[in-house]
Amino acid sequence: MNVLLWLVAAGYLLHAATVLRAALAVPRLPAALPGPAPSVSIVVAMRDEARDAEAAVRGFLAQRDVDLELIVADDRSRDATSEVLARLAAAEPRLRVVTIRALPQGWLGKCHALHVAGAAARGEWLLFSDADQRLVPDAVRRAVDAARASGADHLVLAPNHAPTTPLGRACLLAFRAALVRQMDLANRDHPRGFLGVGAFNLVRARTWRAVGGHARLRMEVLEDVGLALLLRTAGFRTRAYDGAAESVVDWGGTPRALLQVLEKNGIALLRYQDWLAVAAGVAMPGVWLAAWAGPFLGGAAGWAAFAGLCSAALPAALLARRLGWQPWLACLVPLAVLLPTLALLRSWLLARRRGGVRWRDTFYPLAELRRGRAW
């Protein structure tokens, strides 16, 4: 038991040190550079988003110092989304609406919508984004300048989050710890350093077309990550920036809402492999419980395991400060570090029970998702 507890302590301390180093290394988005306005096409897929469509469109069109077009793929909407977009497009020449009436066989809806809209884009750069993202007016210009300055063909921003409960923010800090590690790997051109952020995936248009667009991701739930892997495999460079001051998305206000947001993603992260889900479901909760039980088990090893778990609060405090949140929220992170594993397990259990994944009101069987996965 002492050996196990020392291993738990070492694992948590190593994780905290790695996250802290990565958090310090990941840069903020720099200021804009002088020069002509870059040509950018923002590509967004919408389905049944009549309530938020106008705010999203106006937010994207507020970007300045870029030669901008906004392409919205209206993906089989059944509400008033089409009418809202048509009204906005009639008054705004920079907005183009691509209407999709049917989903071809062998495609996920969002992947198909992004592929069709991206193919229609005229910009030198493509920004694949989500309708719930809100950007400061100079974010796109600064991102393009940063990509050019670093010689990157692909750039992602890690967003901030809409207001949540204290425990919800602690859970987001636990997710962000894993994210910044991957961002740091990408910035160091590590072979495993591929990273996609669905809210802000900026890619050079000719590069996107060189890897086949989203056609090779047609059945990929994690299409943002899949695109990053395609680019990395083809030898293109990704750069990742802390976009907490430039981008905000809404993942829900509670841990329960976060689990629902991640419902489709967990099984995809597990690559639809049952053994991975079982291994994660046994190992991670066991390690977490061992750390909490350490003080009750007594001895130096038990207290070391508990201290190792608590060390997660150190990088979390830095991440909270970067996000503009109260640093004391980091004290809740040792409670929340299990949530990513719970999200994976919940997603896996639901997918196994249903026999597939429901996304945008379309059901995709597990067998098809396994056959069509891109990586």
Does residue 372 fall inside a structural domain? Answer: no
Q: 17 with 41, same domain?
A: no
Q: How many domains does the chain have?
A: 2
Tens of pLDDT along 293-307? Answer: 999 988 999 999 999
Single-letter amino acid code for the residue at 158: A
Does residue 222 fall inside a structural domain? Answer: yes
H-helix or E-strand spanning residue 246: strand 238-249
Does residue 203 fall inside a structural domain? Answer: yes
Q: 174 with 321, same domain?
A: no
Q: 186 with 137, same domain?
A: yes
Q: 167 with 204, same domain?
A: yes
Q: 167 with 266, same domain?
A: no
- Which of the listed residues 237, 252, 267 is the one where a domain comes to its end? 252
The DSSP code for 150 is H
Does residue 78 fall inside a structural domain? Answer: yes
Domain range for 6 is 2-23+257-358
Tens of pLDDT along 121-178? Answer: 999 999 999 999 999 999 999 999 999 999 999 999 999 998 889 999 999 999 999 9
**Which residues on neighbouring strands pair with residue 181, listed in sequence order?**
none
- Which of the listed residues 215, 231, 252 is the one where a domain comes to its end? 252
Does residue 374 fall inside a structural domain? Answer: no
269-279: b or e for each residue (b if 16 or more CB lie within 10 Å)?
bbebeeeebee
Does residue 322 fall inside a structural domain? Answer: yes
CA angle (244, 245, 248) in 5-degree steps: 60
- pTM of the predicted structure, to 2 decimals: 0.94
> What residues contact residue 66 under an 8 Å CB cut-off, 6+ apart?
37, 38, 39, 40, 140, 141, 144
Tens of pLDDT along 237-279? Answer: 999 999 999 999 988 768 888 888 888 899 999 999 999 999 9
